[in-house]
A and B are shown apart, each in its own frame.
Chain A
Amino acid sequence: MRNIADDRVHLTREHAVELLRQMTRVRRFEEKCAELYTQEKIRGFLHLYIGEEANAVGVISTLTGDEAIVATYREHGHALVRGLPMNEVMAEMFGKAVGSSRGRGGSMHIFSAHHRFFGGNAIVAGGLPLAVGLALADKMLGIERATCCFFGEGAAAEGEFHESLNLAALWHLPVLFVCENNFYAMGTALARSQSNPSISARAAVYGIASEAVDGMNVVDVEAAARRAVHAVRRGEGPRFIETKTYRFRAHSMFDPDLYREKAEIETWKKRDPMVLFADWALSAALLNLDDREAIEADVAQEIEAAVAFAEAADFEPVEDLMKDVVSPPSEYIR
């Protein structure tokens, strides 16, 4: 096996444990969510990130806690890795009042002002202008930090993608754009929807340094993100990373997944980012089997507690329906 740590990521044992722990948390959390969905505890759209965990884990491990994250409707992983308490994220999935968005957003709209986690945007490419604006605010306020914006490759067909890249490059703004290219915009394959399937090449035409990496390899993702975010923080303008990845599950729980070949899915599953990393870390003696078991046991406990927390929690009272449409002193329209 190729040494996937062959770059500037400093892979201590502690860091390896953390990477595997975070990927495991996201994976097991979502497997539980799928189960809870079939039990009708979770409703609405549920977009699973299973297979793509290395992206959120690799990128977010390079960010400081006050660097803003803007994500999409497939953002459970990003929220958990950023540090939103699993209890609150699970309660949000249940629509409970102690959820991270008071239960009002559900799976697609997880927010945390405290964690500078700005959602949870379910309009494809809708988050890019917001990230540009957050970075603009930092630049105007003289705060030296990056804003990280996640989106899928489907976003590259939207005008907001191009407008935002142009603006970020033109104004030299500190944005790290991360395109998680899972090759399908819902059911439409990249080649069926985009004239130039290289997303990173399209970013480059705006004068943004960009690179494509293996999104199934958490160390590659982290290495690319580390290089990029350092450049962004140094004031070198925006950077762009395209991660080539794959979702193992259907687009949402409503999706019968008729548009992908089973063989294709199976081929990608052989490159499961969790397994890939764990096997390599074991072979490199960074981790041992006991570590893996301990991580799984800890995560199982965390999830069990989160489900119990969400189950026991109350829904927001209906009387609060109109609360926070606008700020308190303003009157609500009839």
Chain B
Amino acid sequence: MTNSRLTYREAVREALREALARDKRVFLMGEDVNRYGGAYACSLGLPAEFGDERVRDAPLSESAFVGAGIGAALGGMRPIVEIMTINFSLLALDQIVNSAATLRHMSGGQFSVPIVIRMATGAGRQLAAQHSHSLEGWYGHIPGIRVLAPATVADARRMLWPALEDPDPVIIMEHATLYNDEDELPADGDMSVDITKAATRRQGSDVTVIAHSACVKKALNAAEMLVGEGIDCEVIDLRILRPLDDETIIASVRKTHRAVVVDEAWRSGSLAAEISSRITEQAFYDLDAPVERVCGAEVPIPYPKHLEQAALPQPQSIAAAVRKAMRR
């Protein structure tokens, strides 16, 4: 089997191409997905292959085109709706929360909403306070939807198809700083991937570091920094933000007896808070230290680089939290 080297962006594009080619019901809809090629160039070239109907530019009407995606899903299609950034998805929250997430339960199980909504999330590109937030924890709060956060090129390539096969709404969070990441992937073969389990990205015995999306890389960097200090970190990539894979998290904490949760989002009411709480509920007597959290500073993300970086979890701050958990 040959390998090919591709970026996260190309991985998303290949996943879109595969989905559009495999199933006639699939179409991509969103702002600037066609002529422009996608705000992050994920759909560049796809209109030529699949046409304007199936790679469909939408007006700046997040609520209407996300709602139309939900309606199209109810009507037998398999829409992929792209929202330019997670901040803009707030304009479509009504449709996501009040319709997509509720319809199955509220109708007594009569309706499925097989929609996939992709959005760019996160800070690190100096885009300031209306393009840089990490609100995926809000979506993780909502029953009735599945939330995926591919942190690797492989997951960016492989998560879309199983997401489309899920009869329920799936939101895929693509971190804006990951699009240029590169990795080797098998060029062919089975592309399917489990979208129910977290992944252990680094085996370790001293402390469990739990992260998702762009923070996984930072956690791995921190782990390497700590090797020289004799600290062996296990790094878990959540991958699925809802429903959370408690089993993988708790099994690791039972092994290492220490946990550090890393989350780019604001600390208060965060996904990190939820994970910390679950560890305390399910593995309290296995813990040798309090659960540590490394979160984004509670400010609107500022524009200048030094302030933006200071607002985000960094390998240094993760390493510091690990040392604290280790009482070093």
Task: Spell out A's residues near B (CB within 8 Å).
Answer: 68, 70, 99-105, 109, 111-113, 118-121, 123, 126, 128-138, 140-141, 159-160, 163-164, 166-167, 170, 323-327, 330-334
Nearest CB in chain B: distance from A161 CB, A: 9
Asked if residues B72 and A136 are in contact (CB atoms below 8 Å), the reply is yes
Q: Are B111 and A130 in contact (CB under 8 A)?
A: no
Residue-wise, chain B 112-129 has the 8 Å CB interface mask toward A (1 for contact) of 100000000000000000
The residues of A that contact B63 with a CB separation of less than 8 Å are: 129, 159-160, 163
Contact between chains at A102 and B108 (CB < 8 Å): yes
Closest 9 CB pairs of A and B: A133-B71, A129-B67, A102-B108, A137-B75, A163-B64, A324-B109, A163-B61, A133-B68, A111-B107
Residues of A within 8 Å of B104, CB to CB, are 324-327
Q: Does B8 reach chain A (CB closer than 8 Å)?
A: no
Expressed in whole angstroms, the Cα–Cα distance for A326 and B104 within the complex equals 7
Give bound CA distance, A136 to B76, whole Å.
10
- Selected from B74, B107, B111, B168, the residue in CB contact (under 8 A) with A133 is B74
Cross-interface CB contact of A160 among B64, B166, B167, B244, cutoff 8 Å: B64
Closest-CB distance, B195 to chain A (whole angstroms): 10
Q: Is B73 an interface residue when CB atoms closer than 8 A count as contact?
A: yes
Q: Judging by beta carbons under 8 Å apart, are B146 and A167 in contact?
A: no
B242 at the interface (CB under 8 A from A): yes
Contact, CB under 8 Å: B75 / A99: no
Cα of A166 to Cα of B98 in the assembled complex, Å: 22
Asked if A134 and B58 make an inter-chain contact with CB atoms under 8 angstroms apart, the answer reads no
Contact, CB under 8 Å: B109 / A323:
yes
* Residues from 236 to 261 in B contacting A, C-beta threshold 8 Å: 242-244, 246
Assuming the A-B contacts A330-B168, A331-B243, are A126 and B98 also in contact, with contact meaning beta carbons closer than 8 angstroms in the complex? yes
Measured CA separation A333–B140 after assembly (Å)? 10
Contact between A129 and B108, CB atoms less than 8 A apart: no
User: Is B143 among interface residues, defined by CB-CB distance under 8 A?
Assistant: yes
Q: What are the residues of chain B within 8 A of A129 when measuring CB–CB?
A: 63-68, 70-71, 95
11 new A-B contacts at CB < 8 Å, known A130-B68, A130-B74: A100-B108, A118-B74, A123-B94, A126-B67, A130-B70, A137-B71, A140-B53, A326-B168, A327-B166, A327-B168, A334-B246
